């Protein structure tokens, strides 16, 4: 027998790791810095690291108590009821839960392009169909209600990423409210705020709860993660904040013990470690500003922990930067073949990335070669094997 037809599914392309690249190039991993996956340059919350060590001896037990404790702590963080917090195995798990709770076979979801591939992947796993709305380079990737409404066609779920990956743009709350107002009553608007801590904007949780002068709504959900600002990408922990009316659905759609004992204990420690989050956010803001001021190419404004840079030929530039020891994200897989994305690193990492990129761009310009589209091309003798 064979699996069902998966021809419409597109595999997620993750950023490459240091050890993987070092093995491929026959080099020592210490020669490289990785700024490709929007990870926390300061590592995990120190409190979370201690909690992980302390919890190691309890992993033989299911995480029922830890799950309840973390749910309560996150609910307290957002001033919502415990039943409004849907813990999950990463933000991806929360995406799955929301699709399970909404999609019937043949329902459609509307997702941004460029954007996070897993929105569409998850919808297809749950027998939904996928439509797209474009975030345009010509408008500097601006996000407004109209951006999505131009393509909206009664979809069951509409996804908004704010801050958006890979561009760093955000959608103001007033625009999110307008989008919810102008979509059908049975359309769920999900605002993915995986990078929300880095943005100088209020969370869309305010729209769910009717704060900041907004009316409370039952058609908006918000995604958050511990992967970025809290530095817990490796333990896979995320959650959704949902309207109170959705509270009973969680028990019917989640997997048993959705977040592990280690993840829950780490999350419990991290959620109160405000000093680590503040340090991480300040580093990202300083790094973004430095890259915008010193990179010899166009850098879009960003409210994430990364910037998007127009380099002309992303594949050639990313490959040469990798050869020189700095791993960045080639955004061709996002449909942006002229752009790379650089994660905000420590001061030393950011300075190295900028120096390396500027040197690569200067070398490309000096070479004076162009490809079939008239873009600068790398000297063939400088190229390494495909990545």
> Using CA atoms, how far apart are residues 359 and 59, in angstroms rounded to an integer?
48
Beta-carbon contacts of residue 206 (< 8 Å; ≥ 6 apart): 173, 212, 214
Residue 363 has a pLDDT of: 95
Residue 213 has a pLDDT of: 86
Structure tokens at 312: 């002309």
- Paired sense of beta strands 108-113 and 85-88, if any: unpaired
Per-residue pLDDT of the chain (387 residues; tens, 9 = 90+): 888 887 777 777 777 788 888 888 889 888 899 999 999 999 999 999 999 999 999 899 888 889 999 999 999 999 999 999 999 999 999 999 999 999 999 999 999 999 999 999 999 999 999 999 999 999 999 999 999 999 999 999 999 999 999 999 999 999 999 999 999 999 999 999 999 999 999 999 999 999 988 989 999 999 999 999 999 999 999 999 999 999 889 999 998 888 999 999 999 999 999 999 999 999 999 999 999 999 999 999 999 999 999 999 999 999 999 999 999 999 999 999 999 999 999 999 999 999 999 999 999 888 765 443 444 444 433 333 333
- Paired sense of beta strands 329-330 and 339-343, if any: antiparallel
Residue 381 has a pLDDT of: 37
> Using CA atoms, how far apart are residues 357 and 304, in angstroms rounded to an integer?
20
Tell me the backbone φ, ψ of residue 111, rounded to 5 degrees.
Answer: -125, 155
> Using CA atoms, how far apart are residues 370 and 258, in angstroms rounded to an integer?
51
Burial class (CB in 10 A: 0-12, 13-18, 19+), 129: middle
Residue 30 has a pLDDT of: 86
Query: Which domains are delineated in the chain?
Result: 18-43+275-382 (3.90.1150.10), 46-270 (3.40.640.10)
Note the Cα 362 to chain centre separation in Å.
31
Residue 19 has a pLDDT of: 85
Q: Are 37 and 15 in contact (CB under 8 A)?
A: yes
Q: Are 205 and 174 in contact (CB under 8 A)?
A: no
DSSP output for 132-195:
EEE--GGGTT---HHHHHTT-SS-SEEEEESS-TTT-----HHHHHHHHHTS-TTPEEEEE-TT
Residue 4 has a pLDDT of: 82
The residue behind tokens 């959704």 is 240
Nearest Cα to Cα of residue 312 among 324, 294, 325, 330:
330
**148 preceded by cis ω (within 30°)?**
no
**3-class DSSP state of 110:** strand
């Amino acid at each position: 027998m064979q699996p069902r037809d998966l021809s419409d599914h597109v595999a997620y392309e993750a950023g490459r790791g240091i050890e993987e690249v070092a093995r491929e190039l026959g080099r020592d991993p210490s020669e490289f810095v990785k700024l490709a996956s929007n990870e926390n340059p300061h590592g995990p919350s120190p409190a979370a690291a201690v909690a992980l060590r302390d919890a190691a001896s309890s992993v033989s037990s299911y995480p029922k108590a830890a799950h309840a404790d973390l749910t309560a702590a996150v609910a307290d963080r957002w001033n919502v009821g415990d039943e409004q917090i849907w813990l999950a195995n990463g933000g991806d798990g929360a995406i799955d839960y929301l699709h399970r709770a909404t999609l019937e076979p043949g329902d459609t979801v509307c997702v941004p392009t460029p954007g996070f591939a897993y929105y569409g992947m998850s919808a297809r796993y749950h027998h939904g169909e996928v439509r797209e709305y474009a975030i345009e380079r010509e408008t500097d990737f601006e996000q407004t209600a109209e951006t999505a409404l131009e393509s909206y066609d009664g979809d069951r779920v509409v996804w908004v990423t704010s801050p958006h990956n890979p561009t760093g743009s955000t959608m103001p709350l007033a625009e999110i409210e307008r989008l919810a107002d102008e979509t059908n009553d049975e359309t769920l608007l999900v605002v993915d705020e995986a990078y929300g801590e880095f943005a100088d904007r209020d969370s869309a949780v305010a729209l769910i709860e009717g704060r900041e002068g907004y009316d409370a709504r039952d058609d908006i959900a918000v995604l958050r993660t511990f992967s970025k600002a809290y530095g817990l990408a490796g333990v896979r922990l995320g959650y959704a904040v949902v309207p109170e009316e959705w509270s009973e659905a969680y028990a019917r759609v989640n997997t048993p013990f959705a977040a592990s004992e280690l993840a829950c204990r780490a999350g419990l420690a991290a959620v109160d470690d405000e000093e680590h989050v503040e340090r991480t956010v300040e580093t990202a803001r300083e790094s973004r500003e430095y890259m915008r001021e010193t990179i010899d190419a166009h850098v879009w404004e960003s409210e994430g922990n990364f910037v998007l840079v127009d380099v002309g030929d992303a594949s050639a530039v990313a490959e040469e930067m990798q050869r020189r020891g700095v791993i960045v994200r080639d955004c061709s897989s996002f449909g942006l073949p002229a752009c790379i994305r650089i994660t905000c690193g420590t001061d030393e990492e950011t300075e190295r990335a900028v120096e390396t990129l500027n040197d690569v761009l200067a070398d490309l310009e000096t070479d004076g070669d162009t490809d079939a589209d008239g873009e600068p091309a790398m000297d063939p003798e400088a190229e390494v094997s495909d990545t």
